[in-house]
A and B are shown apart, each in its own frame.
Chain A
């Protein structure tokens, strides 16, 4: 389908459409037109996306904080020292070959360490996959909490897949204390879900997999819990993000 009047009119709007800043009535008209399969307009949307990227590229460049690279890559199991493991392994192997003593025991220890590292990576990968699935699933809602304050962050909620909470500026827990994530139901007592330790920069990602009763869950909260806490109720609530 190709309605020339609509096409000519819509071409002026595709940059705003692909930015997501059109008013609902205009956006719905374009959605309907595109879903009818207008190839010319699809190409126009592609050009608009490119044009928007060019305009965005004129932004004044700001150098990211130095620690951000490590923080982003840590989320993918990539750490600065990781490449050195290869060379460490090679060096150890060479020494073992030359020494020719204790080879079996040391090699077994090394393999055990590598297997444990692989298990840790697999677990981290599974968590990351679960988080990514929730982040990109259609219908995922975004709730932010404490913008500009400490702590702050985002909660992603999908009614079937679960909840991902990304929190920042948490600060180190007092010695022996733990951070704990809670589900706060609309009625009844909060339920402890998962304890966690923020990274060195105070960031943490908590994943609560599984269906979420959007009408029965009121909020996601984080507390600090002292040693030996029974987790029957939060001890020191830091924030609660209403969902």
Chain B
């Protein structure tokens, strides 16, 4: 676990801190995240999947569960338990260099989005808000928000896929 923490602790803390924006809460959630990782690490096959997406998914789910609990939204700790299983990361194998290139492409694509598109991606991916919650927060019709989210995700998806070719 020390090796895992040294390699990924900074990234997982940053993702959680970005979501909850409170140091003490982020520390608690990082600890919970490593509990969960520890309990399942034996199922991970390094030859069939990459570790980082799996760890990020677990950390982000912990942060979102916390935010939903604070917001009073329906919260079920294991609602996306199945998606945290390592089998879902079997096709994620590939050179880390590809991942770095993809991430740079996505970072660049993020800057090409308009301000509202960037905001909806921030709210979905870093704060775990549903499209209905975003519509309420931004005071925009739900249909408009869905359109913004989908168009933004399409740009980011095409950037990642394009860079991997």
Residues of A within 8 A of B (CB): 12, 15-16, 18-23, 43, 45-47, 49-65, 68-69, 71-73, 75-76, 78, 128, 131-133, 135-144, 147-148, 150, 152-154, 156, 166, 168-169, 203
Q: Given A59-B14, A76-B1, does the pair A148, B61 have CB atoms closer than 8 Å?
A: no
25 interchain pairs (CB within 8 A)?
A20-B61, A21-B64, A21-B130, A50-B92, A52-B125, A53-B56, A54-B53, A54-B106, A57-B52, A58-B110, A59-B126, A60-B14, A60-B18, A68-B27, A68-B30, A69-B6, A72-B30, A73-B1, A73-B2, A73-B5, A78-B2, A128-B35, A135-B39, A147-B66, A168-B27
Task: Write the nearest CB–CB distance from B83 to chain A, whole angstroms.
Answer: 5
Compute how far the CA of A33 lies from the CA of B10 in the bound complex, rounded to whole angstroms. Answer: 37
Q: Is the CB of A143 within 8 A of B69?
A: yes
Which residues of A have CB within 8 Å of B18? 59-60, 62
**Residues of chain B from 1 to 53 with CB closer than 8 A to chain A in the complex:** 1-2, 5-6, 9-11, 13-15, 17-18, 22-25, 27-28, 30-32, 34-36, 38-40, 52-53
Number of A-B contacts (CB under 8 A): 199
CA distance A62 to B25 in the complex (A): 14
CB of A54 within 8 A of CB of B103, answer yes
Chain B residues with CB under 8 Å of A47's CB are 91
A49:B53 contact, CB within 8 angstroms: yes
Binding site for A on B (CB under 8 A): 1-2, 5-6, 9-11, 13-15, 17-18, 22-25, 27-28, 30-32, 34-36, 38-40, 52-53, 56-57, 60-61, 64-66, 69-70, 75-81, 83, 88-92, 99, 102-103, 106-107, 110, 121, 124-126, 128-132, 149-150, 153-154, 156-157, 160
Contact A154 B10 (CB under 8 A): no
Instruction: Evaluate contact between B75 and A141: CB separation under 8 angstroms.
Output: yes
- Assembly CA distance A12 to B146 (angstroms): 11
Asked if residues B31 and A57 are in contact (CB atoms below 8 Å), the reply is: no
In the complex, residue of chain B having the shortest beta-carbon distance to the beta carbon of A45: B88
Q: How far is the CB of A32 from the nearest CB of chain B, in Å?
A: 14
Interface of B is mostly: helix
With A69-B5, A203-B31 as given contacts, are A21 and B128 in contact (CB-CB < 8 Å)?
yes
Partner of A19, one of B27, B64, B99: B64
Given A53-B52, A135-B39, A16-B131 contact (CB < 8 Å)? yes
A58 to B15, CA, bound (A): 9
Closest partner residue, chain A, to B83 (CB atom) = A18
- The CA of A149 and the CA of B102, in the complex, are separated in Å by 39
Identity of the chain B residue whose Cβ is nearest the Cβ of A76 in the assembled complex: B1
Contacts of B57 in A (CB 8 A): 18, 49, 52-53
Which of A78, A143, A148 lies at the interface centre, i.e. has the most chain B CB atoms within 10 A of its CB? A148
Q: Bound complex: CA of A132 vs CA of B37, how far in Å?
A: 10
Q: B125, A144: Cβ atoms under 8 Å?
A: no
Task: Determine if A63 and B32 form an interchain contact, defined as CB atoms under 8 angstroms apart.
Answer: no
Q: Are B38 and A54 in contact (CB under 8 A)?
A: no
Q: Is the CB of A20 within 8 A of B79?
A: yes
**Do the beta carbons of B130 and A72 come within 8 Å of each other?**
no
Q: Give Cα A21 to B129, complex, Å.
A: 6
Decide if A23 touches B132 in the complex (CB within 8 Å): yes
Which chain B residues lie closer than 8 Å to A53 at the CB level? 52-53, 56-57
